[in-house]
A and B are shown apart, each in its own frame.
Chain A
């Protein structure tokens, strides 16, 4: 745990890397990419529930990061900015998919077994993970950012472009929904 934390701190892109990336240095950008790609891919996968779409969304996110590199503020946390782009990109994917009249991504009828197809190596998937796929997308998003990615309320508010109180409400309601679904699991 401590080693992981230390590794994260040591490998995190520092101010110098961010300045270089802003100037268009490809090596610096690659370091940012290497550091955040796993988090972004897993986040997109949880939202989009499809490996191919998650791959595309991750790629598009980092291409947008590179294209808009001039907006990088070395004084600020770049993770928040990258997640803002990733969230918007993932939502764009959902919108496009809905427009194409394909099966909606956040529909309630999405089978709970679906998670096993995009987390095939994980073996037994916990009830919480399965239940997470069945709750409202906005609530799920807030829960993922808060618990999985470790963002603070203020940062989540910035990423989702909503007030802090709404973030708190979404997290609380998300947990309530999870609890309700898990009760059903227990009943079955």
Chain B
């Protein structure tokens, strides 16, 4: 029995994974920031409602529902316009060409940034 007790007192312990400490601190920090984020969100929503209400009451003979309908009409027109432009564009210029331009441009920006970091003697 004494041997058992001796073993029980010296049970193996493994090191705690580092991720536990980091994860706990991250979650706790989030918990601390959460009320601030919630307040900011509430303020944004409040602002939005206030602005909408203000526009609704101040605009002469403009009904809120009509405004929303107008908004969606304009939105659908715009999306239709954009899709038509895009379709026509890709009919003229191939997708591969567009992609190659995009990749070249990204590469040029990347190289430019790298060059600005290094100081040439």
Interface residues of A (CB under 8 A from B): 26, 29-30, 33-34, 37-38, 41-42, 45-46, 55, 58-59, 62-63, 66-67, 118-119, 121-122, 125-126, 128-129, 132, 143-144, 147-148, 175, 178-179, 182
With A122-B14, A125-B12, A129-B11 as known contacts, state yes or no: A175 contacts B20, CB within 8 Å: no
B40 smallest CB distance to A (angstroms): 20
Chain A: which residue is nearest B23 at the CB level?
Answer: A59
A132 to B9, CA, bound (A): 12
A63 to B15, CA, bound (A): 20
Contacts of B60 in A (CB 8 A): none
A174 to B16, CA, bound (A): 27
Interface residues of B (CB under 8 A from A): 1, 3-5, 7-9, 11-17, 19-21, 23-25, 27-29, 31-32
Extra pairs beyond A26-B32, A37-B24 (14, CB < 8 Å): A26-B25, A30-B25, A33-B24, A38-B13, A55-B17, A55-B19, A59-B27, A62-B24, A62-B28, A66-B28, A67-B31, A118-B14, A128-B3, A179-B1
A147 to B13, CA, bound (A): 13
CB <8 Å contact, A179 and B4: yes
